[in-house]
Structure 1
Amino acid sequence: MNITKASVCKAVQRLNQQGLVRYESHRISLTQAGKEVAEEVI
């Protein structure tokens, strides 16, 4: 995959602002809302 660190950072920031992920000290986890969205997509 040809994805830059900056692109990943912006995407994670957007997901965090939407309440779908939690970003803590180099660790990213889904919130309950993020899990629900992920299950709908699958």
Structure 2
Amino acid sequence: MLSTWRRRAKERRELANLDARTARDLGISPTEIQFEVNKPFWRV
């Protein structure tokens, strides 16, 4: 479980650092990024 939490935290940090162009290329809106980044690491 700890490794899952660490992975999620890392993925959310990376998501928070995406530039706008990359996010658009991935089909992710700024609102979706903020929603995901603001979740605690233990929430899916």
TM-score by length of 1: 0.40
Indicate the structure whose relative CO is greater, using CA pairs within 8 Å and at least 6 residues apart.
2
Higher helix share: 2
Higher strand share: 1
TM-score by length of 2: 0.39
